[in-house]
Structure 1
Amino acid sequence: MADASGPSVAARDDLAGVVDLFGWLTRAELSRALSELAFKQRTEVDEDAIDAAIDLAVAEYALVPAPSGALSGGGADDIANGDGGAGEEGNDESTTLAVGPAAFPTLPAGAEDLPHILDVPDREVDREALADAVLERLREEAVEAIGAGDDDRLETLADVTYDVEAWAPVDVDPVRTRILAEVDE
């Protein structure tokens, strides 16, 4: 799933494609889906590589933790807290993940069989509620990156603002303006 330099953009888009098949998945369900794909493709399952690919997809907004208020369908009522179980890093097994603004979802080979293998009920995501959560996360991460003086992260977040703007009807201009002012200093 990953080479020595880490997961590729194509891998992140494949992860988004798998999540898109279902509407949303928990991190554990996505990990299981990727393990099933590896088995179908007769490749070894590398749990560390799967975790790294999911972490990177979340960090780069290809996948986003979805709050329970944005979820409907099978299992949505079982999500206990309002942040979708996202926690600080979004890496808890119960974290609910949806396709994010930086993704171009693609289906990896064999993925079309996953709905039958995983037996996950129909699910949907309320894009408006998800967009609000993504904008809030973007604001928080921008403040953290500014406080830490993390120019690399700020540049990534600046790129994400354009993705968010194209993805959902939210006003990201104040966040982008602040990020770009900090990067240009």
Structure 2
Amino acid sequence: MDVTGDELAGVVDLFGALTREELGQALVELAYKQGEDCDPSAFDPDVDDAIGTYHLVSVDADDTDEEWLFPGPVAFPELLEGATDLPHIMAIEQRSIDRERLGEAGKAQFQRDTDAAVAAGDTERIEQLLDVSYELEVWAPVDLAAARDRLDEALS
């Protein structure tokens, strides 16, 4: 089963947040409903891509070693067929997090990605990050002007 970043965000949005393991299990449930048998780890590349494109943002969970995945600043959450049944199938309570904390996690990821893109001279990624910077600032209370300036300089 192929999934997009928006579809992953849609599944996560049903619960507010999910761990990577929970998201994998939810996707296995949906694949099963479509007649496919797969392992949760089969979706790891899709989840990694969704984090890299800011469809999902990863935050360290409260008082645990887990990471929670939240719909990110570029996501337009879409529900896969059968996804509305997931809250009835999976025993996971609704989760939320302070918007500032979520924004700081997104900002930290953005700064790491900016460092890597500038160091690599990756023009395509730099342009992508410039677009994401505006979405991220609208999505959460963060200021990315300095990072944006750095990205602009790297394109010059």
- TM-score using structure 1 length: 0.77
Q: From the superposition, tell whether residues 48 and 119 of structure 1 become closer, same or farther in structure 2 (CA, over 3 Å).
A: closer
Counterpart residue number, 2:59: 66
Question: 137, 140, 145: which is aligned to 2:117?
Answer: 145
What whole-Å deviation, never above 9, does each CA across 1:123-160 have from its counterpart, x for those lacking one?
11221111011112211221122112222221221111
The equivalences for 1:73-112 within 5 A come to: 76-77=62-63, 79-80=64-65, 94-112=66-84
Query: Is residue 2:17 matched to residue 1:24?
Result: yes
Q: Which runs of 5+ in 2 are unaligned?
A: none
Paired positions, count? 156
Counterpart residue number, 2:92: 120
Q: CA deviation at 1:163?
A: 1.2
Identity of aligned residues (%): 45
Q: Which runs of 5+ in 1 are unaligned?
A: 69-75, 81-93
- TM-score using structure 2 length: 0.91
Q: What RMSD in Å do the two structures reach over aligned CA positions?
A: 1.7
Q: Distance in 2 between matches of 1:49 and 1:12?
A: 15
Q: Distance in 2 between matches of 1:44 and 1:180?
A: 46
What whole-Å deviation, never above 9, does each CA across 1:76-135 have from its counterpart, x for those lacking one?
44x23xxxxxxxxxxxxx432111111111111111110111111221122111101111
What whole-Å deviation, never above 9, does each CA across 1:49-83 have from its counterpart, x for those lacking one?
51221111011010011133xxxxxxx44x23xxx
Question: 129, 132, 137: which is aligned to 1:165?
Answer: 137
CA contact (8 A) 2:99 2:141 kept: no
